[in-house]
Structure 1
Amino acid sequence: MHQVLSVGRSLSIQAHPDKELAEYLHKAQPSVYKDPNHKPEMALALTEFEALCGFISSEELDIVLDMVPEINEVVSNASVDQHDGEVKGRDLRSIFTKLISIDRDVIFKALSKLVNRLTRENETRQLTSKEELVLKLEKQYPNDVGVLASLLLNLVKLEPGDGLYIGANEPHAHLNGECIECMATSDNVVRAGLTPKYMDVKTLCSMLTYKQGLPEILKGVPINQYVRRYTPPFEEFEVDQCVVDQGGSVVFPALPGPSVFVVISGEGMMLTSTSEDGVSEGDALFAPAGTEVQVSSESEVRVYRAGVNNKVLLNP
């Protein structure tokens, strides 16, 4: 799947199951998990783009627990827990599980305290980006546990041209901006907050990797003067960004797999051995396997091509 996504209102905090878990969930709850496939995805920023992705580092977690009394109060009973016979202090899995599982009235009280405190403090100091995000999210999703959970996730800010890939079992949420989104074909989503939709808390808490630290930002690799390639660390797809100057032309060599082209801006022509099509903003075209595609521009044209990961095609 390859689409343009414009985010005005923050989307839900969610994670996508890996292939094995997706098959299990589909058999167990086919009305909720409608297919047995996983859903790795990648977002390429068209504008400044903000997202939550992955859990904050251990050092940042300590700061949150020390500096945000409203969260510390809620999860205090989970600050020491036992896993695999080992007692761990300030264990992320315990903290997140406790937070995401608490009663709605507890969330209501904690959020009221947090919002009131930040509103007061905003009159005497500059709030951090995360604190400003809390106030924004609480207006969009009042009394939602995801507002508190956002403090445990990395706030990632992408510049146009930056890419962010999201693997299986990793929490994330798109907050605002426009991007090209590419993902495997699946509708399987396990939600964690910022949503009125169904949240499968038990599945969510058991499936996450709980990996901590900032995610990798992809900058792309130049293929030629017009094309930059973004290759995530999974086999389903890769994406080429193509910006052709007015009067310019570029050839996409024939590949063993199919491709989908989406025109973001400008006007031009797309030529194959069997067709010649004028294209402009909003057009999408499918290129079968083994098809060479030439893109030429009348005015500067920006095109994205999504196809099967080249590494897979070269190493069957």
Structure 2
Amino acid sequence: MGSEMSDPGGGGGGVLKLRCSIQNYDWGIRGEESTVSRLFERNSGGRIVPEKPYAEFWMGTHESGPSFVGDRTLKSWVEENPRVLGEKVLEKWGPDLPFLFKVLSVAKALSIQAHPDKELAKTLNKKQPNIYKDPNHKPEMAIAITEFKALCGFVSTKELKNVFSNVPEIKELVGLEDANKIMDIKQQDKHEGVKAILRSIFTRLMSADKGKISELVLKLISRLNEESKIRKLNEKEDLVLLLEKQYPSDIGVISSFFFNYVKLNPGEALHIGANEPHAYISGECIECMATSDNVVRAGLTPKYRDVQTLCSMLTYKQGFPEILQGVPLNPHISRYTPPFDEFEVDRCLLPSGESVVISAVPCSSLLLVVAGTGSLCTGSAAGDTLISEGNVFFVLANTEIKICADKKLQLYRAGVNKKFFEC
């Protein structure tokens, strides 16, 4: 595997220390308030610019935000040392990490979006490679670091009827005939029939004339501001007022009524499959996904919108999404296992003076230190490696790690889903 295997990154046997990349998207939290900025400063020595947004901290092999082992990319190092991935991983996905690991610091809502399944991703990549850069799907999972808010999936039919009863601007935008289709849905109606109605109405809403959208968003905001003087607005109405300030006259302001409003407490997680609509609203999270950067957008964004593709690709599944709490592996580590082969995430909270062993797994993984200080050692290392906030390590397959905390540690490990190896 070459002499570099021993310790090119200065992390000890079986572990490589990484220098990682960031993204300064406009929706990021600015300056030192951003966890992304602090991790970046400590990981790579980059200077934090107070007025600059720090949105995403990327760990992995994706070319849009590569990680580095010394002065070379992790991707090139893995391609030269493919066996470090683990035999079954290499056989399934080739000489590359099948997952991308991130930290997000969200100050302003991200776009209403969905990620294509594998078949659609290949088609979009072939037709528009400058926009859809990966021929791969992008299921993902977000684990809240702080309170984290998001829109995800379509609300139930019951809630949708409430929307059409209480938001006259939506009824005006889609027309009385379509509005009545929603109101006339019966509990015994077949699922596919309800999906067809929802698809038709949502597509009409998202494709509406920009002038009409602008007019009705103003009408909606004016009405809510007036009503707030005589009643307490509900959470979704408060959200709509916030979104309108961030994205004036945007269809996403109105269409947010169609989606579940999800609030995660720290340590809770949300997983999102292919072709499911979502939009992160605020907060900070750990995110893991299949290695892809494909996003189909249709609202709450200044970027390219592909309304036709988004509306045609969605599953139109209704109901509140599953919230993962993490399954305890021991007193200090909880595991988040989404229904995707490519990844799972372990969260480790280690009090000062305590130690824990992270068991060897048959795949390589990425280890991130979000807070605290301590030390790390492996069975093949000559001594301990000091660790602190911002450290990221590439852990070779079948490597057991012992972590000791000096100051309370918060760590996350991303690896291939254990269920993949049980097949």
* TM-score of Structure 1 vs Structure 2, range by shorter chain: over 0.9
Q: State whether residues 15 and 189 of structure 1, in contact with CA within 8 Å, keep that contact through their aligned partners in structure 2.
A: yes
Residue number in structure 2 paired with 1:48: 147
What displacement does 1:293 show? 1.2
Identity of aligned residues (%): 58
CA contact (8 A) 1:257 1:313 kept: no
The answer to whether the Cα contact below 8 Å between 2:113 and 2:295 also exists between their aligned partners in 1 is yes
Q: Within 5 A, what are the aligned runs for 1:112-151?
A: 112-151=218-257
Amino acid in the other structure paired with 2:391: D
**Structure 2 partner of 1:2:** 101
Moved more, 23-32 or 141-150: 23-32
Deviation at 1:89, TM superposition (A): 10
Q: Which protein has the bigger strand share?
A: 1
Within the candidate set 144, 154, 157, 2:260 is matched to 154
**Unaligned stretches of 5+ in structure 1?**
none
- Structure 1 runs (4+) greater than 4 angstroms displaced: 86-90
Q: Which residue of 2 aligns with 1:75?
A: 174
- Contact conserved, 2:195 with 2:316, CA < 8 A, in 1? no
Distance in 2 of aligned mates of 1:15 and 1:314: 29
Instruction: Give the Cα–Cα distance (whole angstroms) in 1 for the partners of residues 412 and 363 of structure 2.
Output: 16
Q: Are 2:211 and 1:91 equivalent residues in the alignment?
A: no
Distance 1:24 1:89, change over 3 A: closer
Normalising by structure 2, we get a TM-score of 0.72
Q: How far did 1:314 drift?
A: 2.9
Aligned residues: 312
Which of these residues, 172, 179, 194, is aligned with residue 300 of structure 2?
194
Paired with 1:244 and 1:144, the residues of 2 have a C-alpha distance of 44
Distance 2:130 2:209 in 1: 26
Cα distance, 1:91 vs structure 2: 2.0
Tell me the distance in 2 between the aligned counterparts of 1:246 and 1:89.
Answer: 52
Q: Which one of 164, 174, 178 corresponds to residue 65 of structure 1? A: 164
Q: CA deviation at 1:78?
A: 3.3
8 Å Cα contact 1:78-1:98 kept in structure 2: no
> Deviation at 1:105?
0.3
Residues 57 and 282 of structure 1, relative CA distance in 2, 3 Å threshold: same
Distance in structure 2 (CA, Å) of the matches to 1:259 and 1:89: 39
- Per-residue CA deviation, residues 122-168 of structure 1 (Å, 9 max, x unaligned), is 11110000000000000000011111111100000111110100000
What is residue 51 of structure 2 aligned with on the other side?
none
User: TM-score, with normalisation over the residues of structure 1?
Assistant: 0.95
1:18 is matched with: 117
- For 2:354 and 2:171, locate their aligned partners in 1 and report how far apart those are by CA, in whole Å: 58
Does residue 1:286 correspond to 2:394, yes or no? yes
Q: Distance in 2 between matches of 1:59 and 1:263?
A: 43
Q: CA 1:87–1:278 in 2, change beyond 3 Å: closer, same or farther?
A: closer
The 8 Å contact of residues 241 and 302 in structure 1, kept in 2 or not, is answered as yes
CA distance in 2, matches of 1:16, 1:243: 31
Change (3 A) 1:89 1:158: closer
Amino acid of the residue matched to residue 113 of structure 2? Q
Aligned to 1:241: 347
Alignment correspondent of 1:213: 319
Structure-1 residue corresponding to 2:414: 306
Partner of 1:255, secondary structure, is coil
Alignment RMSD (CA, Å): 1.7
Distance 1:219 1:88, change over 3 A: closer
Structure 2 vs 1, CA of residues 261 and 87 (structure 1 numbering), >3 Å: closer, same or farther?
Answer: closer
Judge conservation of contact 1:53–1:153 (CA < 8 Å) in 2: yes
**Alignment deviations for residues 186-220 of structure 1 (CA, whole Å, 9 cap, x no partner):** 11100121001111111111100000010000011
CA distance in 2, matches of 1:2, 1:145: 31
The alpha carbon displacement at 1:90 in A equals 9.2
Distance 1:87 1:224, change over 3 A: closer
Which AA in structure 2 matches 1:9? K
* Closer, same or farther: CA 246–87 of 1 in aligned 2, 3 Å: closer
User: 1:8–1:176: 8 Å Cα contact kept in structure 2?
Assistant: yes
Written as runs of structure 1 = structure 2, the 5 A alignment for 1:219-234 is: 219-234=325-340
